[in-house]
Amino acid sequence: MNYYNEIKEKLINNEVYERIKDYSKERNRVLTYYEIGKLLNEAGSKYGDSIIEEYSKKLVIEVGKKYNRSTLFRMKQFYSLFSNEKVAPMAQLLSWSHYVELLPIKDETKLVYYLNISIKQNLTKRELREKIKNREYERLPKDTKDKLINNEEIKLVDYVKEPILIKNSSNYEVITEKILQKLILEDIPSFLKELGDGFTFIDNEYKIKLGTHYNYIDLLLYNIKFKCYVVIEIKVTELKKEHIGQLETYMNYIDKN
């Protein structure tokens, strides 16, 4: 079998296909690169790892500069990664740019986590890169990681990160409760995404009446997926008994009313 000629033909066909403005061209590229990865894997087994270097030198001249050694190596990586039966069904659900971000991940559960959220949240390549850079998976509770490994049911609290990242865009040196609330409200979409899936913002300083007095909930959210309200009290001190009592009072009010 002439591996080089087959790889070259697939790349040329893909180059032609990419000139057609069609919704399926990215899927075609991913599939083509997967098939080439398989051929490179087989050729490597037969002729040694140096075959990638040999093929890339010829392809750069005959097909295009982008088909250099690192690109071919990524294709081989892509095949090796997605020939795994656990992740294979997701192999054509994202763009090649997404997969380039995911290829360095060696931990299978971590990889599946980022694959899933990329698909569910329709992440751009840049958004996916940001999540990986911010170590979102590493900030999940250990119990959540165990549930992901064992394919167990995930609950609302399971995706809350530790710690939650909040941008200090104004570079405040001293963070009070009011400043922390201000920073959250300045970029509420990022805050909701840090909490997990399905969170929506209802209001801040949400007024409730307890007896003859008015109280204010710092943040009131609703989770569409789990169909529940979420009460948030902002504190910048160590959690105390009275804080828990206050939260329970607010939660009981929301449940009742």
Q: What is the pLDDT of residues 139-190, one digit of tens each?
A: 999 999 888 888 888 887 888 898 999 989 889 999 999 999 999 999 999 9
Do residues 86 and 108 touch, judged by C-beta distance below 8 A? Answer: yes
Query: SS3 for 154?
Result: coil
Give the global pTM: 0.77
Q: Give the mean model confidence (pLDDT) for residues 115-136.
A: 91
In this prediction, what percent of the chain has a pLDDT beyond 70? 94
Q: Say what the pLDDT of residue 143 is.
A: 92
Q: Say what the pLDDT of residue 61 is.
A: 93
Do residues 87 and 115 touch, judged by C-beta distance below 8 A? Answer: yes
Q: Say what the pLDDT of residue 7 is.
A: 86
Assess whether pLDDT exceeds 90 at residue 29. Answer: no
Q: What is the mean pLDDT of the chain?
A: 89
CA distance 102 to 33: 15
